[in-house]
Amino acid sequence: MVDWDKRYREATEPPFGTLPSEYLRQVLARSDFEIGSALCLADGDGRNGRWLAGQGRGGGQGRGQDRGQERGIEVTAVDLSQVATAQARIADGLSGIQSDRIAADLTQWTPDEGREWDAVILIALHAPWAEREVLLHRAVEWIRPGGFFVIEGFSARNPRASECGPADEDRLWNVEKTLACFPGFEVVEAFEGQTWLNEGPRHQGTARMVRILVRKPAE
Ligand SMILES: C[S@@+](CC[C@H](N)C(=O)[O-])C[C@H]1O[C@@H](n2cnc3c(N)ncnc32)[C@H](O)[C@@H]1O
């Protein structure tokens, strides 16, 4: 089991980089994805939540910067690591960004009664599947009707093809098992396949990834 506080404390640079996940950028660039609030689960030292809360278009830096919705999204972020959360708060402050960051274990944490977000974002959580499955079933209640769930993680299929990510199959993602946690949701996209990551020292190189965007039915 990873000691996340130790990993973040001892890192000489942000382990997953300072830019957001490429997949999250792609999702924000979609014409059918528009949100005003997001709950970023396992947000680590905050690269994804910080980008969502920052200014600019969803498509991000460089090419495609004119695509996607304006960001400035109201972000709530939760992560197990006290160290990462403290680092994230400092980086948010240096970027002039306001977000609500909570250091908590997602196997225990629940939002205030009735609290809902336009999107729940879960990038690179590789806890044992039993824990993730329970979390997904709970987190569907935290999305407003018509809202989204975004998931990205390393794939359980052919994991040896990945140059990074966990090796233990129980910590990897499976499209079918994940989609089964979202009964009644529209599957906007669900992919498993090979890509190339350039996201800090720990997410670097060829990677087999699962990328999922599902939408809760509007009431
Ligand atoms: C691979 S890192 C990804 C961090 C961030 N999502 C990113 O993409 O930069 C996994 C994160 O999951 C967090 N984590 C692991 N188990 C958790 C749990 N039970 N509750 C909350 N966070 C957890 C760790 O602290 C770590 O920050």
**DSSP reduced 3-state for 64:** coil
Query: Distance between CA atoms of 196 and 100, rounded to whole angstroms?
Result: 31
Picking from 56, 28, 55, the residue whose alpha carbon sits closest to that of residue 40 is 28
List per-residue pLDDT tens for the chain, 219 residues long.
899 999 999 999 999 999 999 999 999 999 999 999 999 999 999 999 999 999 887 765 555 555 677 899 999 999 999 999 999 999 999 999 999 999 999 999 999 999 999 999 999 999 999 999 999 999 999 999 999 999 999 999 988 888 888 889 999 999 999 999 999 999 999 999 999 999 988 898 899 999 999 999 997
* Residue 65, amino acid: Q
Domain limits of the chain? Answer: 4-215
User: Does any ligand 1 atom lie closer than 6 A to the CB of residue 149?
Assistant: no
Picking from 110, 83, 90, the residue whose alpha carbon sits closest to that of residue 11 is 83
pLDDT at position 133: 98
User: Does any ligand 1 atom lie closer than 6 A to the CB of residue 79?
Assistant: yes
The architecture that CATH gives domain 4-215 is 3-Layer(aba) Sandwich (3.40)
Pocket test for ligand 1, best of 125, 172, 204 (most atoms within 8 A of CB): 125
**DSSP reduced 3-state for 7:** helix
pLDDT at position 12: 95
Residue 25 CA to ligand 1 center (angstroms) comes to 19
User: Does any ligand 1 atom lie closer than 6 A to the CB of residue 123?
Assistant: yes
Query: Distance between CA atoms of 16 and 51, rounded to whole angstroms?
Result: 14
* Residue 196, amino acid: W
Residue 43 CA to ligand 1 center (angstroms) comes to 6
User: Does any ligand 1 atom lie closer than 6 A to the CB of residue 85?
Assistant: no
User: Which ranges of 46-118 does DSSP label H, i.e. alpha helix?
Assistant: 47-53, 82-94
